[in-house]
Amino acid sequence: MVAFSKSILYNCNAFWKIKYGDKLNKKGYTLIELILVLAILGIILLISMPTISNINDTYLNNFARQLLYDIRFVKNMNMTEPVKSYNMVLLADGYQVRYANPMPAFHKVVDLRDQYSISFYENSVWFNANGTPRRAQTITIFNNKTGKFREITINVNTGRILLYE
């Protein structure tokens, strides 16, 4: 057997360090570094992803605003073009904007998603040429799954159309 002396081993280690440096001592990341990176990525994902309830509330708010804008459109068109006689027909699953003269026709048809419904007193909204409605009305849009709702109120005296969130 050949015995190696300490000086030969020392020379081999010195040669190895000169040729490759300290690369062999640092092969990868430590477990703490990996856990820290995964924790930071998890926090970023939690902050950036919206919740399902916020998506449902967003749809409810957007639909209520769109209905409000369409009611105001019907009001403004009756004030500017009273000959066409615009009106809105409310359905349990959506609404329709129509005009009557010269022939009845649809201007716009909007449908609701399955989990939403509309509640109303009278199924049509009419405005006179001066902008006042023929009847006061409260329209409620429901989210049947969460129980949340938005109300649109039409004031008969002033013709104001208000959205309550």
The segment(s) of the chain belonging to CATH 3.55.40.10 are: 52-164
Q: Which CATH class is domain 52-164?
A: alpha beta
For residue 108, the SS3 value is: strand
Higher pLDDT, 37 or 50: 37
State how far the Cα of 125 lies from the Cα of 139, in Å rounded to an integer. Answer: 10
CA dihedral 140, 143, 146, 151 (to 10 degrees): -20
Is pLDDT of 68 > 90?
yes
Amino acid at 94: G
- Token digits for 107? 């201007």
For 61, list phi and psi in degrees, rounded to 5. Answer: -65, -45
Mean predicted lDDT score pLDDT of the chain: 82
Is pLDDT of 3 > 90?
no
Q: How confident is the model at residue 4 (pLDDT cuts 50, 70, 90)?
A: low
Is pLDDT of 95 > 70?
yes
Is pLDDT of 60 > 80?
yes
Q: Please tell me the pTM assigned to this model.
A: 0.68
**Residues in the chain, total:** 165
CB 140 within 8 A of CB 118: yes
